[in-house]
Structure 1
Amino acid sequence: MFDRLFYREKGLFLQSFHPATVLVYLLVLLILSLIYDHPLYLLALFLLLALLIREVDGLDAWEGFLKAGVFLMLVVMMVNPLVIRAGKTIIWHGPAVPFLGKLDISMEAVYFGAASSLRLLVIISIFCLYNLMINPDRVLNLFSGVAGKSVLVITLATRLFPTMVRDLQRIREVQQLRGVDFDTGSLWQRAKKYSGLYNVLLLSSLEGAMEIAESMQARAFGSGKRSVYSRNMIRPRDLFCLGGSLLALLAAVWGLRYGYGRYTFYPEADFLIKDGATLVVLFIVLFYLSVPLLLSEGWKHCRFLKSKI
Structure 2
Amino acid sequence: MKASLHPLTLWIWALLLAIGVISVDNSWVALIVVGVVIAVFMVRADGAPWNATFWWSVRIASLIVCVRLVIGILIGVPIPGRILFSVPRISLPHWMPGIRIGGEVTFERIASSTHEGLIIATMIILFGAASALTSPHKLLRVLPVYIYEIGITLVIATSLFPQLARSLQRIRSAQKLRGIERISIRSLALPLLEQSLSRSLQLAESMESRGFGSHGKRSRYKPSPWNSQDSIVVSCGLIFCAVTVLQ
Q: Please report the TM-score for the alignment, with normalisation by the length of structure 1.
A: 0.59
CA pair 76-210 structure 1, distance change in 2 beyond 3 A: closer
What SS does the corresponding residue of 1:147 show, helix, strand or coil?
helix
Q: Match for 2:232: what amino acid?
A: F
Q: Match for 2:237: what amino acid?
A: S
Mapped to 2, the partners of 1:152 and 1:134 lie a distance apart of 15
What SS does the corresponding residue of 2:79 show, helix, strand or coil?
coil
* 2:95 alignment counterpart: none
Larger-gyration structure (1/2): 1
Mapped to 2, the partners of 1:38 and 1:172 lie a distance apart of 39
* 1:75 alignment counterpart: 67
Mapped to 2, the partners of 1:204 and 1:253 lie a distance apart of 44
What is the CA deviation profile of residues 226-272 of structure 1, one whole-angstrom value per residue up to 9, with x for unaligned ones? 344542112111222222222221111222xxxxxxxxxxxxxxxxx
* 1:36 alignment counterpart: 24
Of stretches 227-236 and 71-80 in structure 1, the one that deviates more from structure 2 is 227-236
Instruction: Could you tell me which runs of 5 or more consecutive residues in structure 2 were left unpaired when the two chains were aligned.
Output: 93-99
* 1:133 alignment counterpart: 133
Structure with more contact order per residue of length (Cα contacts < 8 Å, sep ≥ 6): 2
Trace 1:156-171 onto structure 2 (pairs within 5 A).
156=156, 158=158
Deviation at 1:120, TM superposition (A): 2.8
Report if aligned partners of 2:23, 2:245 keep a CA contact under 8 Å in 1: no
Report if aligned partners of 2:142, 2:224 keep a CA contact under 8 Å in 1: no
What SS does the corresponding residue of 1:126 show, helix, strand or coil?
helix
Trace 1:257-272 onto structure 2 (pairs within 5 A).
none
* 2:235 alignment counterpart: 243
* 1:19 alignment counterpart: 7
Mapped to 1, the partners of 2:81 and 2:20 lie a distance apart of 29
What is the CA deviation profile of residues 34-71 of structure 1, one whole-angstrom value per residue up to 9, with x for unaligned ones? 22322222221122122112212389654433333222
Trace 1:59-208 onto structure 2 (pairs within 5 A).
61-82=53-74, 83-99=76-92, 100=100, 103-156=103-156, 158=158, 183=180, 198=194, 206=201
What SS does the corresponding residue of 2:115 show, helix, strand or coil?
helix
Q: Match for 1:147: what amino acid?
A: I
Mapped to 2, the partners of 1:244 and 1:49 lie a distance apart of 13
Deviation at 1:202, TM superposition (A): 5.3
RMSD, matched Cα? 3.9
Mapped to 1, the partners of 2:106 and 2:164 lie a distance apart of 48
Deviation at 1:89, TM superposition (A): 1.9
Report if aligned partners of 2:53, 2:161 keep a CA contact under 8 Å in 1: no
Q: Match for 1:210: what amino acid?
A: E
What is the CA deviation profile of residues 103-122 of structure 1, one whole-angstrom value per residue up to 9, with x for unaligned ones? 11111011112222222332
One of 211, 225, 228 as aligned partner of 2:217? 225
What is the CA deviation profile of residues 185-236 of structure 1, one whole-angstrom value per residue up to 9, with x for unaligned ones? xx9xx98xx68x94x985675455334312227xxx5245334454211211
Report if aligned partners of 1:24, 1:242 keep a CA contact under 8 Å in 2: yes
* 1:215 alignment counterpart: 210
Q: Match for 1:108: what amino acid?
A: E
CA pair 35-131 structure 1, distance change in 2 beyond 3 A: same
Q: Match for 2:209: what amino acid?
A: E
What SS does the corresponding residue of 1:104 show, helix, strand or coil?
strand
Of stretches 117-126 and 23-32 in structure 1, the one that deviates more from structure 2 is 117-126
Instruction: Could you tell me which runs of 5 or more consecutive residues in structure 1 were left unpaired when the two chains were aligned.
Output: 1-10, 256-309
CA pair 120-140 structure 1, distance change in 2 beyond 3 A: same
Q: Match for 1:242: what amino acid?
A: V
Identity %: 20
Deviation at 1:166, TM superposition (A): 6.5
One of 223, 234, 240 as aligned partner of 2:226? 234
What SS does the corresponding residue of 2:143 show, helix, strand or coil?
coil
CA pair 183-216 structure 1, distance change in 2 beyond 3 A: same
